[in-house]
């Protein structure tokens, strides 16, 4: 059964609200999602997050082409939202690094923090799926799951996901 792009946007928005609340991010941050063309993002990126230093305001730039269902599974899309939100947990660390590091040292820092954030996002989702973590308000999660169940899942080869699958034991 085909889901419309508008429904997928709502699903993504509900992940943002549920995870943002659960992680305590939405108490401190205003986070909005903008659906943008792939050209505005780094190659193969599902989403990227930006925030101006010292302001608790962030924008997730979400790759519009990922709204079409044959590109990414719902699991991959949810994971990318959790990943982007986890960036905000370390926003101060990132801002400090950006202030004092540059060139290859900053690039190396960036790669390492991306890996750490991927691991964190996977663990959070696994905990949720294992039922060890209850969301305070999980009505929209239930709704999303229903939506997700309706769709045919076709696997894709998103770069982030490949990286994640190769992580040992996480
Ligand atoms: Zn990232």
pLDDT in tens, 110-150: 999 999 999 999 999 999 998 854 555 555 555 555 555 44
List the end-to-end C-alpha distance of the chain, in Å, as a whole number.
32
Give yes or no for residue 34 having a pLDDT over 80.
yes
Out of 63-67, 110-114, 152-156, pick the least confident: 152-156
Say yes or no to pLDDT of 102 above 90: yes
- pLDDT score at 146: 54
Estimate to the nearest angstrom the gap between the alpha carbon of 30 and the chain centroid: 15
Ligand 1 centroid distance, CA of 1 (Å): 31
User: Can you give the pLDDT at residue 53?
Assistant: 84
Kindly give the distance from the C-alpha atom of residue 63 to the centroid of ligand 1, in angstroms, as a whole number.
14
d(CA 72, CA 65): 10
Task: State residue 131's pLDDT score.
Answer: 80
- Cα–ligand 1 centroid distance for 109 (angstroms): 12
φ, ψ (nearest 5 deg) of residue 151: -95, 155
What is the C-alpha radius of gyration for the chain, rounded to an integer number of angstroms?
Answer: 16
Express as a percent the part of the chain with pLDDT over 70: 76
Dist. CA 120–CA 88, nearest whole Å: 12
Looking at every residue in the chain, the average pLDDT score rounds to 83
- Centre of ligand 1 to C-alpha 103, Å, is 18
From 1-15, 45-59, 142-156, the region with the lowest mean pLDDT = 142-156
The edge-to-edge listing of strands for the beta sheet with 47-50 is 30-36, 57-63, 47-50
Residues 39-51: tens digit of each pLDDT: 999 887 899 999 9
């Amino acid at each position: 059964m085909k889901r419309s792009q508008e429904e997928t946007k709502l699903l993504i928005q509900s992940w943002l609200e549920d995870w943002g609340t659960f992680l305590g991010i939405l108490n401190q941050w205003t986070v909005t999602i903008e659906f943008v063309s792939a050209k505005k993002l780094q190659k193969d990126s599902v989403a990227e997050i930006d925030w101006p230093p010292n302001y608790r305001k962030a924008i997730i730039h979400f790759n519009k082409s990922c709204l079409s269902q044959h590109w990414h599974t719902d699991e991959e899309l949810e994971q990318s939202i959790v990943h982007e939100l986890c960036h905000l947990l370390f926003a101060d660390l990132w801002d400090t690094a950006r202030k004092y590091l540059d060139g290859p040292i900053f690039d190396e820092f960036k790669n390492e923090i991306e890996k750490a954030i991927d691991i964190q996002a996977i663990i959070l989702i696994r905990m949720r799926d294992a039922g060890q973590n209850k969301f305070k308000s999980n009505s929209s999660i239930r709704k999303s799951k229903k939506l997700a169940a309706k769709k045919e899942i076709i696997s894709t080869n998103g770069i982030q996901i490949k990286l994640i699958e190769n992580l040992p034991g996480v």
